[in-house]
Amino acid sequence: MGDSLELEPREVWQAFFEICAIPHPSHHEEALATWAVERARRSGLEALRDAAGNVIVRKPASPGLEDSPGIILQAHLDMVPQKTGDSGHDFLRDPIRPRLDPAEPEWLRATGSTLGADDGIGVAAGFALLEDPLLRHGPLELLLTLNEEDGMGGAHDLAPGLLQGRILLNLDGEMENEVGVGSAGSRRVHFVFKDRAVAPPPGLAWLELKVSGGRGGHSGGDIHLGRANAINVLLELLGPEAQYLILGELGGGSLANAIAREARAIVGLPQGRSQETGARLAARSSGIVAGFSGTDPGLKVEVAPAAAPGLCLDAASSARILKALAALPDGCFSLLEGLEDVARLSSNLGALATAALPASDVQGGEGLAIEGKLLVRAAFDPERIELVARIETLLKAAGAEVDLRPELAAWSPNLASPLLSTALRVWRDCRGEEAHARATHGGLECSLIRQTYPGLDMISIGPSIRFPHSPDEAVHIASVGRFMKCVRTLVEELGKA
């Protein structure tokens, strides 16, 4: 457990390990929010909850710096709950168990699950700065938002007039040598196919297809790496056979903003075609797995006989849904010019699930629902709008109900920002090497906060975190100390302004 590790800077890591001990997946941050308020008040700081549930902590300026521009330190309270296939971790009950990576002890990771350094380190860093008695600073605020990872609800519902600062330091960055100046816009597309269910017809052979062992990752930061999306691997296998298949179950992934690592289907096919189709599936799966050998060396596809399900879709519904899902645009479609490792436009089908429907939801008896969650990201809003419209049209034409969640506009870079200039100078002086201004294909709350507080000058910063949103998530231990030195110096520099 983390409490047995002695890491520096101690004040940051002790706060982070306390955070790890409190379950806080998206939509379940109440206990951690309570911890934040109580910790702030024990330190003699003003703390409150706004109408959206966000936590706001305030600390007056150091003597003589009352007229300095106020600084808002901002992080989010929730974490992405992803675990390995063999893990019994319960994100609503169990603490995160940090450990040193045995192969790379300079990195800290969790046991069988995401670590939550995204953004637990940001929360811990915010408290370490507020509680530092030697820090010389102007007015400070710490904004801790709810539900960043699954809709950015806290930032979306942040009311005007609550924040007093003029500068915002988002502590959700993931590379210590980068200063974030922009982020992609995005839109979540939730959809559901609702069709009448039937008893499995006689004369069918049933198969279970399982895709596992994908590396997964962040649908923003990792989408350009070409990793396998297990849902799409499954659909690539089934799509060419759609006209012959009866669909009993289809599912995979769990979050729109995480690349699916596992997927599963139960399908029936005529006995006379089972041997031929099984051979084609096996050959196709071998080719797919070989194609991902460089990015997903653990990828595995299994095809095995299965028992017939209690209910299934009829042949026409099965073919229609499988063809539509297989046709959905998915992956990274382009890279930002001049930034060859940053995606420009992407779409990620992150979750599929099958659920029974009561007779009241479907005419003619019981039904089955195939529900999906998809996330489109774009550096330029017109491209996002066009792709979302194309996806919506495709899904509706196939009979799906589509729910377009509130859109997130892109945070466009301001390379002439005085804050950016100061931050790059501080990072160079503190680290002994240049930092780089970068945009991210991930979504950041900066874009929503700026819509409510348009006068803010803002950047996004953080230590080095790799593979967020997957069980391989890890934070580079020494980078946390270097990051804290930089951000502490930056706060003091801004206090002199």
Q: How far apart are CA 444 and CA 410, in angstroms?
A: 9
Task: List all residues 6 or more positions away from 445 whose beta carbon is below 8 Å from its beta carbon.
Answer: 74, 76, 145, 148, 152, 154, 155, 170, 172
| Burial class of residue 417 in the structure, from the number of CB atoms within 10 Å of its CB (0-12 exposed, 13-18 middle, 19+ buried) | middle
Give the pairing of strands 401-404 and 457-460: unpaired
User: Other C-beta atoms within 10 Å of 413: how many?
Assistant: 16
180 contacts 444 by C-beta, under 8 angstroms: yes
Q: How far apart are CA 465 and CA 477, in angstroms?
A: 9
Active-site residue identified among 78, 176, 222, 383:
78
Q: Tokens 């489109």 label which residue? A: 376
Tell me whether residue 148 is one of the annotated catalytic residues. yes
| Helix intervals (H) in 75-212 | 117-130, 153-156
Task: Read off the tokens for 337.
Answer: 């010019």
Active-site residue identified among 119, 148, 195, 445:
148
Tell me whether residue 492 is one of the annotated catalytic residues. no
Q: Which residues pair with 71 in a beta bridge?
A: 140, 167
Q: How far apart are CA 82 and CA 69, in angstroms?
A: 39
Q: What share of the chain is helix, strand, coil (3-state, %, to 5)?
A: 30, 30, 40
Helix (H, G, I), strand (E, B) or coil at 233: helix
Residue positions annotated with a catalytic role: 78, 148
